[in-house]
Amino acid sequence: MLKTPEEFEASLRELHPTVYIKGHKVQSVVDEPLLRPGVNAISVTYEYAFLPEYSEIMTAVSHVTGKRVNRLLHINTSQNDLLKKLEMTRLLCRETGCAQRYLCHDALNALYENTNNTDLKYGTDYHVKFLNYLERVQDDDLTMCVAMTDAKGDRTKRPHEQHNPDLYLRMVARDENGITVRGIKAIVTGAPYTHEILVLPTRNMTFQDKDYAISFAIPIDAPGIELVSRQAGRPGDTGAPLTSQYGQATAQILFDDVFIPWDRVFLAGEWDFAGSLTESFATHHRVSCIGARAGLGDILIGATAAMAEANGLDPQKNGHIREKIADLIKFVESFYACGVTSAIFGKETTAGNFKPEPVYANIGKLLQGTHIYDMFRIVHDTAGGILVSSPYPEDLEIPNIGEKLSQYLQGSEDISADYRISIARLLEDITASYQGGWYSAISISGGGSPEATRIEIMRKYDIEERKSLVERITGV
């Protein structure tokens, strides 16, 4: 059943994860001010599922249970599902900056495909176990964090070649009841305020890496799990109109010989399926990154145009402002268009769910990850220095001074200084504060580095077909 935001928070209270932030142990995730913007952001994914105007986009009928579920937990049964998921991600992220929970969708769809394929080769029963898990996740409307990225040590070496055997999460024991794992997952979004951890491998593996080829689900407060987290957004900062409300924490998750029962294990040693699970997750996830950053782009476009107007410049009439804002729109809508194309050209997998077309998914992610810097350049250039120098809300309340500031800092005579200052603050918040740097870093690295997307484009693009075209033309 769909949970309300209140029920989501109540369900988090039933869990007792071990979480540290800035060296102190968090007593209650829901009551921790440093995590509040993160809880708020996930709550929006619960809230919107109840809004009639978003029902089609936010929910779907599960082909597993026949019940209406949050689309973030849905297995795609068509290209239309892929498209709706992209639209939903943009919708959620234009409200929250980053709604994080789309990771669940991406991992569930990757596991749906990969457990099926592993069973076909090895005669294992991962798929049926996964379906049981999926049913519970959908029924209880859970949120999982997705732990894929390992510490990775020396990037040129495979897991088994590292100087420390625990630099990739690994299976240290297995018996008739389950497996025991040790190590760390190094960057995990939203982990403290989720119900479960979904663990995936982070790369392709060889036979010698088989102990690292693992995937499983485990409650966030299972024995042996410790999280070292960071604050979500800029909680308590009155100069942060968006990120004091909504933010995203990341965490390191430490696994100290954690036992995973077999009914929660989805890969354990089948090394030749580690790469396909990674690839499947990355393909879904890169489309989510596109939708998320398009949502951020919506805020940037609106605020940049508003800032120009507050400065007295008409974006339709003033040539170089028009060019800048048109370029901003071009960057956002061109990577979003790749997401749309990846959905429309999506294909059914051997397991029966639908996956985005990978070349467009990767091109969109590559454009998004690299053009974020062009987008921020346009914002900074258009806004001018007030972007990082506007007074705080409290300053505008200082007797005599606040009024003077409001007079002097007005731009266009038709637009109040308060409006101009609040737009400047919003743009500072998302492009020039700690969070501004954070948004550029997540854009370039989150979902994989630009080089990782280029490698995928080169792997999946049919260059041979293009070469044969040239052979036909030249006749050689």
Ligand X SMILES: Cc1cc2nc3c(=O)[nH]c(=O)nc-3n(C[C@H](O)[C@H](O)[C@H](O)COP(=O)(O)OP(=O)(O)OC[C@H]3O[C@@H](n4cnc5c(N)ncnc54)[C@H](O)[C@@H]3O)c2cc1C
Q: Which residues bind to ligand X, rule: CB under 6 A?
A: 103, 146-149, 152, 155-156, 187-189, 250, 441-442, 445-449, 451
- DSSP H/E element including 458: helix 450-460
Q: How far is the CB of 13 from ligand X (least distance, A)?
A: 23
Per 3-state DSSP, the chain is made up of helix, strand and coil in percentages (nearest 5) of: 55, 15, 30
* Three-class SS state of 18: strand
Q: What is the DSSP letter of 58?
A: H
Residue number with CB closer to ligand X (161 or 221): 161
- Least Cβ distance, residue 156 to ligand X (angstroms): 5
From the list 426, 429, 389, 437, the residue with the least C-alpha distance to 302 is 426
What CA–CA distance (Å, rounded) separates 210 from 159?
Answer: 9
Taking the least distance from each CB to ligand X, the nearer of 85 and 420 is 85
Cα separations (Å) of 107 from 21, 179, 247, 288?
Answer: 26, 20, 21, 11
Both tokens assigned to 92: 């959620």
CB of 338 to ligand X, least distance (A): 19
Q: Which is nearer to ligand X, 71 or 101 (CB)?
A: 101
Task: Quote the CA–CA distance of 122 and 236 in Å, as a whole number.
Answer: 53
Q: Which is nearer to ligand X, 370 or 406 (CB)?
A: 370
Give the residue with the Cβ less far from ligand X, 38 or 391: 38
Least gap, CB of 274 to ligand X (angstroms): 14
Nearer to ligand X, 156 or 474 (CB): 156
CB of 446 to ligand X, least distance (A): 4
| Cα 143 to Cα 38: distance, rounded to the nearest angstrom | 13
Least distance (Å) between residue 259 CB and ligand X = 22
Q: CA-CA distance, 97 to 468, in Å (whole number)?
A: 45
Q: CB 152 → ligand X: shortest distance, Å?
A: 5
Q: Which of residues 187 and 344 has its CB atom nearest to ligand X in the complex?
A: 187
Least distance in angstroms from the C-beta of 289 to ligand X = 10
The residue (of 341 and 445) whose beta carbon lies closer to ligand X is 445
- For residue 127, give the nearest of 352, 400, 321, 362 by alpha carbon: 352
- Nearest alpha carbon to residue 153 among 144, 161, 162: 162
Q: Is residue 252 classed as helix, strand or coil in its secondary structure?
A: strand
